[in-house]
């Protein structure tokens, strides 16, 4: 594959591409040219694939059989046949008087006796070429020359056509089918293997099957015609070497469709009935030595051989002949279709542009239904070809990304996207066809024009016959109008809104057509623009516009008017442009406690967001810290980034969602059918391959399913068995011991008795980890004993006074394990343990810090699970009805819609666009403990980033022009390389917004160029580029460079938003670049 230099077309749309002859081998090559034409303004593209024969010398030769119905691969012996050669130059003009040399050779096979790997002697064949003849030919005035093929001798031949410089212009082979009696006189084995070919693979009842067969021995052959059963059989006699056989087929009894010619040979030695044949071959009865040597050789070839050739029988009886006649006039398409017999059919017409993107072939129903195929698995769907990255959407909550829309799978589209133009697609549904013909009006979108492929697929309702056909036509109008506008722009961008006008019939040379074009945006600036269309038949015009200052959709009404052939013609189109913030949406959370004073009732202020689809701001207040759950565990789908299911992250996702479902105060904030959402998550990961890890998060998720989720006992047992198999009972570190204790505790919750293993594990820990009983690990072991009703052992372990330093050393995840085990043990034994004095406080401190700064998915899920367990065991404290949540201030552009939900211990207010929530009447409550709150904000912030953000990661971006130099100004149609430099390691997700006036230029499915990192998947949406990658190296030297390509398609000045980066496993690590301004001229 060689990328050629880009070419810019002239005003007539023509351009030339120079192909370097050094890229071509000697002789001729079949070359496929893939061409993509891009409209410099507007970004409209067209693709074309053209296959052609090319040669370095500008000379080409071809051949055909002259006035002969056969084919070179099967000529009958002594059948006169001539081959005609044609020599043309690079302009396809005949070359007269060209001196050529024709060299022929016989393709023979020499049999050799060799010893196989098992020591057994066997014959093998070696192909050789035996030079036969040389002839001189001279082309006539028409560039042609004739040569008579030597068909007197059966076998295979090769011919070469060579010019005076010795260059081979043409090489092909031929085969003559016949009975070669010469092999009967030779003591050599004529062939080591059986070979079979047929004159035609299309057979008809009452006809003949002509075969050419090479046999290694003399004997009998059984020729059968088979499909599901044997339909016809005939015996033949074969000689060593070449044989020409003819089998008469019966007139009745054959089943139309796919069949097989099966030839089975059995060695029989010299056949008595062949005495006359032997005399004609000159074999005397005294040639005993020849017969003996042949017989000895034949014994080493085996006594049986077979060959099979696929054929079709009476294919025409299975075919429904269809004829499609498209008729177009003034942008309307009508199709007349005729069927040779009554049939049911489906017709469809599709824009050729859509079909070119998916490489959609014309259907061959007869071949698909009746011809055989090898066993195969074929996935056929258009989405991965139209948008190959669309099936691998990033499911991690990307900082800077649109989390809530990611959850619904809508990340493939811009949340501010314009309404797309209707596609040129039409289908008839099921219709009846007949020989008289039927006419259908094809309904295409108003103003649509272009190439259309019309396809008909039919089946005879009375017999097993099918058929299909296709036709291509061009739909056009006397005057055609096409918008040249960007897909999307940012707030305040200036851009050129253009229109392309095309005539169905171009003016004659030296003439032109005057047109007026109006581009109205509703602002009153809709003065007609003058356009003169010359002999090219097309032209474009436009004017500069400024995008609105608020997100939404910008609607443009276009109209063109002209006098064409003395008649007034007009065309109208309406298009929409997405107007979006220059930065991608982001998710921000805040948690804390509510001061119980009248002056401090206001919660922390949120940054103003742009009023746009998908914006969400909500506040929750509760007497228990359950609102922090929604800050820790996003309700979006956070597992399996880009379709790659990471077992631990997938399990953490399900566990976190289970935690939310188990808390009544949180459940109202979930989807309308949370059990369906949870079931989907569990199904996705129930059969996940790989190590679940001894964290056993998946088991914990199953064990705590609420009743409405309808947990399946078989699923729980299956997952428990997987966890159980991973317990080694031989921990080498404190971390390994802790995770095995966790797994054993969870197994007891499932109902498994683990007393012996628990005793063995704690004994091993006493040997290797002295002092562990004075730390939080004792809570996990004690909770397991409590679950098995072994209360004395549980009290002994959980009643130990914990050392403070062992508690404060815990991470959030480990603290969550210990806190959940403490709650479980306290509930089961009814005792209060010393750990209550230190562990809950430390856990809440870590929890608040994690909710504010971000934490790993695993730690967040376990924290939510522990918090859910503790809130279930604690007596729910009712929140007084007087305590209320209100929104004191909205960002500009929001209508003030609110939704208040209240449960016994919590209240949640959803108010899109709210920047200041407050808790009313909190000072009137007599609660002894504080109220807990959480704030969640999802949307694009109004404040543009003034400085880069680097928190454990860093990201920088620059734009390179076609020369590879950094630039901020580009030409219309120029390819622009976006180069992003990342410093940091981990499972990183990068989201980069696409500036208005630019579009993706990389080929569909082409991966971005990434240095020093592996990629897990990528997404090209119309408003962003997203990639998940894992840099190589360490945190100190991990530098990754990523490049992808855009194309500048609209003149104007555009805001380029910053790239955003985050660690998919650790929300505390993030980075963001700065704004830039790009100009397209």
Tally of helices (H runs) and strands (E runs) in the chain: 20, 54
d(CA 63, CA 17): 29
Name the least confident of 179-188, 246-255, 736-745: 179-188
Query: Could you report the per-residue pLDDT of 115-139, keeping only the tens digit for each?
Result: 766 766 666 777 778 877 899 999 9
Q: Which residues pair with 333 in a beta bridge?
A: 328, 442
d(CA 1051, CA 485): 10
* Max CA pair span of the chain: 130
- What pLDDT, on the 0 to 100 scale, is given for residue 276? 53
- What pLDDT, on the 0 to 100 scale, is given for residue 315? 82
- What pLDDT, on the 0 to 100 scale, is given for residue 139? 94
pTM for this entry: 0.69
d(CA 772, CA 795): 16
Torsion of CA 1066, 1068, 1071, 1075, to 10 degrees: 120
Considering the chain, what is the average pLDDT of its residues?
79
At 324, list the tokens: 């499609």
- Going by C-beta distance under 8 Å and a sequence separation of 6 or more, which residues neighbour residue 318? 256, 257, 366, 370, 464, 465, 466
Name the least confident of 11-15, 133-137, 268-272, 609-613: 268-272
Concatenate the DSSP letters of all residues of 499-554 into one string: EEEEESSPPPTT--EEEEEEEE-SSS----EEEEE-TTSEEEEEEEEE--SSSEEE
Query: Could you report the per-residue pLDDT of 29-39, keeping only the tens digit for each?
Result: 778 888 877 77
Three-state DSSP class for 378?
coil
Name the least confident of 244-258, 261-275, 990-1004: 261-275
Q: Which residues pair with 138 in a beta bridge?
A: 99
Query: Could you report the per-residue pLDDT of 875-901, keeping only the tens digit for each?
Result: 556 777 788 899 999 998 898 899 888
Residues 686 and 693 sit within 8 Å (Cβ to Cβ): no
HEC assignment per residue over 588-624? EEEEEEECCCCCCCECCCCCCECCCCCCEEEEEEECC
Tell me whether strands 230-238 and 219-226 are parallel, antiparallel or unpaired.
antiparallel
CA 524 to chain centre: 45
Residues in the chain: 1081
- What pLDDT, on the 0 to 100 scale, is given for residue 871? 65
Confidence of residue 395 (pLDDT cuts 50, 70, 90): very low
């Amino acid at each position: 594959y060689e990328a050629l230099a880009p070419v810019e077309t002239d005003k007539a749309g023509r351009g030339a591409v120079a192909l370097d002859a050094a890229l071509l081998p000697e002789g001729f090559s079949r070359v496929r040219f893939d061409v993509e034409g891009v409209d410099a303004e507007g970004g409209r593209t067209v693709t074309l694939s053209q296959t052609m024969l090319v040669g370095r010398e500008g000379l080409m030769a071809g051949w055909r059989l002259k006035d002969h119905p056969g084919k070179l691969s099967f000529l009958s012996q002594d059948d006169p046949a001539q081959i005609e050669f044609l020599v043309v130059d690079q302009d396809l003009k005949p070359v007269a008087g060209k001196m050529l040399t024709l060299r022929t050779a016989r393709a023979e096979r020499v049999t050799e006796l060799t010893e196989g790997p098992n020591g057994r002697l066997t014959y093998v064949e070696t192909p050789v070429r035996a030079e036969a003849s040389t002839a001189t030919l001279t082309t006539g005035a028409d560039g042609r020359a004739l040569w008579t093929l030597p068909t007197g001798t059966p076998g295979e031949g090769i011919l070469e056509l060579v010019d005076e410089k010795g260059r081979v212009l043409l090489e092909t082979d031929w085969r003559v089918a016949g009975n070669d009696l010469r092999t009967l006189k030779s003591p050599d084995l004529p062939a080591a293997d059986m070979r079979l070919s047929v004159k035609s693979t299309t057979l008809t009842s009452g006809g003949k099957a002509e075969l050419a067969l090479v046999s290694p021995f003399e004997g009998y052959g059984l020729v059968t015609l088979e499909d599901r059963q044997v339909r016809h059989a005939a015996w033949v006699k074969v000689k060593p070497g070449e044989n020409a056989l003819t089998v008469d087929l019966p007139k009745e009894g054959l089943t139309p469709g796919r069949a097989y010619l099966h030839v089975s040979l059995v060695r029989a030695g010299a056949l008595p009935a062949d005495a006359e044949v032997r005399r004609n071959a000159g074999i005397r009865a005294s040639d005993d030595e020849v017969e003996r040597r042949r017989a000895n050789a034949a014994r080493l070839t085996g006594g049986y051989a077979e060959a099979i050739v696929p054929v079709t029988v009476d294919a025409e009886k299975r075919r429904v002949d269809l004829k499609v006649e498209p008729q177009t006039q003034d942008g309307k398409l009508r199709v007349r279709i005729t069927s040779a017999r009554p049939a049911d059919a489906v017709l469809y017409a599709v824009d050729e542009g859509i079909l070119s993107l998916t490489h959609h072939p014309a259907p061959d129903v007869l071949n698909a239904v009746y011809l055989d195929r090898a066993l195969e698995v074929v996935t056929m769907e258009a989405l991965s070809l139209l948008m190959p990255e669309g099936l691998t959407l990033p499911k991690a909550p990307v900082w800077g990304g649109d989390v809530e829309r990611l959850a619904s799978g809508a990340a493939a589209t811009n949340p501010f996207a314009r309404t797309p133009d209707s596609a040129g697609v039409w289908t008839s549904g099921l219709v009846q066809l007949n020989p008289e013909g039927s006419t259908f009006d094809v309904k295409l979108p108003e103003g649509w024009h272009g190439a259309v492929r019309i396809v008909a697929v039919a089946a005879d309702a009375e017999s097993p016959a099918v058929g299909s056909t296709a036709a291509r036509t061009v739909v056009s109008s006397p005057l055609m109008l096409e918008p040249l506008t960007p897909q999307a722009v940012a707030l305040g961008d200036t851009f050129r809104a253009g229109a392309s006008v095309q005539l169905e019939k171009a003016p004659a040379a030296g003439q032109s057509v005057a047109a007026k074009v109006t581009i109205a945006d509703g602002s009153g600036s809709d003065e007609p623009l003058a356009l003169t269309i010359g002999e090219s038949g097309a032209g474009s015009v436009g004017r500069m516009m400024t995008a609105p200052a608020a997100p939404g959709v910008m609607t443009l009404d276009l109209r063109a008017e002209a006098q064409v052939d003395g008649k007034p013609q007009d065309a109208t189109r309406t298009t929409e442009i997405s107007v979006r913030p220059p930065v991608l949406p982001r998710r921000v959370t805040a948690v804390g406690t509510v001061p119980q004073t009248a002056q401090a009732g206001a919660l922390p202020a949120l940054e103003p967001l742009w009023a746009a689809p998908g914006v969400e701001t909500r506040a929750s207040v509760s007497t228990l810290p359950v609102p922090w759950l929604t800050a820790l565990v996003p309700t979006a789908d956070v597992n399996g980034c880009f379709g790659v299911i990471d077992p631990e992250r997938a399990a953490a996702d399900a566990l976190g969602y289970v935690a939310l479902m188990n808390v009544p105060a949180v459940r109202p904030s979930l989807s309308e059918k949370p059990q369906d959402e949870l079931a989907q998550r569990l199904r996705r990961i129930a059969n996940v391959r790989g190590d679940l890890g001894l964290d056993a998060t998946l088991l914990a998720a199953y064990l705590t399913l609420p009743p409405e989720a309808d947990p399946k006992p078989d699923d729980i047992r299956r997952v428990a068995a997987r966890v159980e198999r991973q317990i080694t009972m031989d921990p080498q570190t404190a971390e390994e011991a802790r995770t095995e204790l966790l797994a054993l505790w969870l197994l007891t919750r499932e109902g498994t008795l683990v007393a012996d293993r628990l005793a063995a594990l704690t004994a091993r820990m006493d040997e290797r980890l002295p002092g562990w009983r004075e730390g939080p690990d004792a809570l996990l072991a004690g909770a397991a004993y409590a679950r098995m009703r072994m209360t004395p052992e549980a009290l002994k372990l959980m009643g130990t006074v914990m050392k403070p330093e062992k508690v404060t050393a815990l991470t959030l995840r480990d603290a969550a394990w210990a806190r959940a085990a403490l709650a479980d043990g306290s509930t089961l034994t009814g005792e209060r343990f010393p750990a209550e004095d230190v562990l809950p406080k430390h856990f809440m401190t870590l929890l608040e810090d994690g909710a504010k700064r971000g934490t790993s998915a695993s730690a967040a899920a376990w924290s939510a699970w522990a918090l859910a367990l503790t809130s279930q065991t604690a007596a729910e404290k009712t929140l007084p009805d007087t305590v209320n949540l209100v929104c004191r201030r909205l960002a500009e552009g929001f209508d003030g819609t609110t939704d208040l939900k209240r449960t016994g211990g919590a209240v949640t207010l959803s108010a899109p666009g709210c920047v200041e929530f407050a808790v009313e009447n909190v000072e009137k409550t007599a609660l002894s403990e504080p109220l807990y709150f959480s704030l969640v904000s999802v949307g694009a912030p109004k404040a543009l980033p003034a400085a880069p953000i680097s928190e454990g990661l860093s990201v920088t971006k620059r734009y390179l022009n076609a020369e590879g130099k950094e630039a901020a100004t580009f030409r219309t149609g120029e390819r622009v390389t976006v180069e992003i430099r990342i410093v940091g390691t981990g499972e990183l997700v990068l989201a980069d917004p696409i500036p208005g006036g630019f579009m993706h230029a990389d080929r569909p499915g082409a991966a971005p160029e990434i240095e020093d990192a592996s990629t897990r998947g990528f997404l090209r949406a119309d408003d962003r580029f997203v990639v998940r990658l894992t840099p190589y190296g360490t945190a100190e030297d991990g530098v990754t460079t990523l490049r992808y390509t855009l194309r500048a398609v609209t003149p104007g000045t555009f805001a380029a938003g910053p790239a955003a980066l985050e660690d998919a496993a650790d929300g505390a690590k993030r980075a963001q670049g700065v704004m830039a301004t790009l100009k397209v001229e």
